[in-house]
Chains A and B, each alone.
Chain A
Amino acid sequence: MKKTKNVLLRLYYIFFLGGSVVIGLFLLYSDMLHYHFSFQYIPGFFAIYGFIYCAILILGAKLLGLLLERREDYYEKRRRR
């Protein structure tokens, strides 16, 4: 397999692996966690929330874009008319 040359991707690869190790370590000590709301105690709540939030953000914004996106010279053209 060809090794990726992209620095940002490599960085996030390390970030991803490192983060997973951190999560794994913490899972062993999950009785140490103290939260304020009951929903935060759901296992993997933050992972699910982050994933869903990010997906909704991108997809929702793209829907919003259908309404709001215009050509780059939108205002200039308007003025000329």
Chain B
Amino acid sequence: MIEWIHPGIVILLGAFLLPLLRNRKAKQAYFVLLPIAGLTILILTSMGVFGIIPPYPDALHKWCIPFLQYTLELGRIDKLSIIFAYVYVVIGLAMNIFALRGKKDWEHVSALIHIGSSVSAIFAGDLFTYIFFVEIAVWSAVFLIWFRGTKTSLGSGFRYFFWHVLAGAFFLGGSIIHVQTTGSIDLALMPWGWGWDYIGYYLMMLGLLIDAGSFPVHAWLPDAYSTGAVTGVLYVTAYSTKTGIYGLIRCFPGVELLMWLGVITAVFALYMAVLENDARRLCGYHIISQDGYMIAGAGIGTYLGLNGSVSHIICHIIYSCVLLMGASTVLSVTGTCKFSETGGLYKYFRISFWLYLIGGFSISGVPLFNGFVSKSMTIEAAELIHQPLAYLMLEGATVGTFLHTAIKLPWNLWFQGRKEPPADIKIKLKEKRENTPINMLIGMSIPAFLCVFIGVYPYYPFYDMLPWPVSPFVPYTTTRVFSMVQMFIFTFLAAWFLRTLIRGTPTYTLDSDWLGRIPGNALVSFCEKPLIAFGSFLDRNILKVTYFIISCVRSPIPEMRMTPRAIGLGALAVLALFSLFLIVYI
């Protein structure tokens, strides 16, 4: 048997060769070929060239490296990791084609490192390898944000970094406690309960939840996604939260807390999205909302729930990629994607608009698109465990998603009832049906095709590849299609009545990161200025008193100097007192 080659490591290390190539065409070819190489390895792996992949809980163990008294496992190939790796690499390929005209070599390198390290984190079989690759992914993501080159992107890159380093520290701390108590470093099911004994697992879960963008630690996400590099940030949107949810599925399936956190996340993000003016921030809130479904699926913990979570991650990566690409095409050509500055662009972006709309229908869960076949799994799982509240909230969140991504965003970005865009944008556009470069359209078409294909025919290869058997679940039932169509129609009606309220207004909506950015900042400046001033004031005065005492001891004032006369007087006084004492008591 041939030895397995790690596709993540191939992409990760291959990235560094890109700047060495001289010719621009060669660079572009290499940029596209590297994910294709990864994809080829994955196809060979699932064909069984490196060994047959066993049914789910068992795995093929490759690339095991002895380290101290442990064994690090870089290649745990099971049905859960391989499906993630597939979608990561395929979407990486689509995004590479989308970003092909980028001129910054190091942005491409960061992108490839991000893909490679995310795939490697997925294949990691132990905690330390997972943390190691997640941290590399964080570093490369920071650069992908900074490559926008604006002052806001610098700030949000630092904030992204801060949040993820915090998450990494929590996860590492929890892992060390776990390893100390159990001696096992496997990235596998963790114990769960309430009490001090489980403190390490709480830390691990908190770390993963920050990565996953769960409420209330989600605020880094719209901040980073809306300020990152035009094409670069797509990679961050596709991978960073999904790797965190993958960790949750591995470590904490079936924890009820996760279900409720997920449900709240799914609903809360929608309220924030209504107020958004920036297309990429709006997509960011929708990613949070969809992450809520995945977290809830992991928390429900039945086979259907976990399958729902995994399948929704797969579908979500595909359609969120289309959505953000749609916003990015407008941004890259016109320089803005704020609703208050756009509108009337349909004449100039016809094809990319229709491709975007496929993503919009998919994320809403419209029948025949891929969101429907994955989202309904989680919703059905909530029904089957008899949680009417969770069911109603998840079902309702579908409505909100439809309202924003299929009505509000396209209406505001491409129409707003205008035939021509505002004058300052119009001068940047050419008089043709499609202003988007052809590579961007090809990059968008790949995931858009997958959206429709999986939606129309989900059984093969999609459902077959899921780790747990799907069989009793059927996506297209009369009941489900009937109820979903009803909901969409009446959502549209309500949106039509309230259409004036969903227009973009040039405002910025505060989120939970306000607590860190304003009161937190105030606390830091309070510590830096008044507190330090008070400290040095105390310091000065205590020193003054001390110096006074020291100077008294060293050079006493004239009245206290030890002259012979003074000593004589003192001795006389003591003698007199002593005599008095004797007279009184004897």
Contacts and interface: CB of A to CB of B under 8 A. Distances in A.
B1 interface: no
Contact of B391 (A19, A33, A37, A55): A37
A61 B419 CA distance: 29
A77 to B, nearest CB: 11
Nearest to A73: B508
Contact of B489 (A47, A58, A76): A47
Given A68-B275, A69-B507, A72-B506, A55 B498 contact: yes
Contacts of A76: 152
Interface stretch (B80-88, B311-319, B408-416, B446-454): B408-416
A58 B508 contact: no
A50 B486 contact: yes
Given A32-B478, A39-B388, A65 B400 contact: no
B50 interface: no
B491 interface: yes
Contact of B403 (A15, A39, A47, A57): A57
B29 interface: no
B433 interface: no
Nearest to A33: B479
Contacts of A48: 490
Interface in A31-81: 32-37, 39-40, 44-55, 57-62, 64-65, 68-76, 78
A33 B477 CA distance: 9
A69 B508 contact: yes
Interface in B475-496: 477-479, 481-495
Given A19-B488, A33-B482, A51-B493, A71 B399 contact: no
B584 interface: no
B487 A47 contact: yes
A1 interface: no
B490 A54 contact: yes
Contacts of B391: 36-37
Interface in A1-25: 5-8, 11-12, 15-16, 19-20, 22-23
Counting chain A residues whose Cβ lies within 8 A of the other chain, the interface size class is 35 or more
Contact of A64 (B271, B277, B489): B271
A36 B383 CA distance: 6
Contact of B486 (A23, A72, A75): A23
A44 B410 CA distance: 29
B498 A59 contact: yes
B495 A58 contact: yes
B502 interface: yes
Contacts of A20: 489
B102 interface: no
Interface of B is mostly: helix
Contact of A51 (B270, B494, B502): B494
A15 to B, nearest CB: 7
Given A33-B479, A62-B501, A70-B508, A47 B486 contact: yes
Contacts of B482: 22-23, 26, 33, 46
A32 B486 CA distance: 16
A68 B386 CA distance: 36
A15 B493 CA distance: 12
A51 B491 contact: yes
Interface in B130-152: 152
Contact of A57 (B155, B271, B386, B507): B271
Nearest to B273: A61
A31 B270 CA distance: 34
A28 to B, nearest CB: 11
B85 to A, nearest CB: 35
B384 interface: yes
B193 interface: no
Contacts of A61: 270-275
A69 B275 contact: yes
B68 interface: no
Contacts of B277: 72
A64 B275 CA distance: 9
Given A45-B483, A50-B399, 13 more contacts: A5-B419, A7-B346, A11-B357, A15-B489, A19-B486, A19-B489, A34-B477, A51-B493, A54-B399, A61-B270, A62-B274, A64-B271, A65-B275
26 contacts: A7-B415, A8-B346, A8-B411, A11-B357, A12-B492, A16-B489, A23-B482, A23-B489, A37-B383, A49-B487, A50-B487, A50-B490, A53-B396, A53-B399, A54-B403, A55-B497, A57-B399, A57-B400, A61-B271, A61-B274, A69-B510, A72-B277, A72-B507, A74-B508, A75-B155, A78-B517
Interface of B: 152, 155, 270-275, 277, 346, 357, 383-384, 386, 388, 391-392, 395-396, 399-400, 403, 407, 410-411, 414-415, 417, 419, 477-479, 481-495, 497-498, 501-502, 505-511, 517-518, 521
**Which 8 A/B pairs are nearest by Cβ-Cβ distance?**
A61-B274, A50-B487, A54-B494, A51-B490, A46-B486, A50-B490, A36-B383, A46-B483
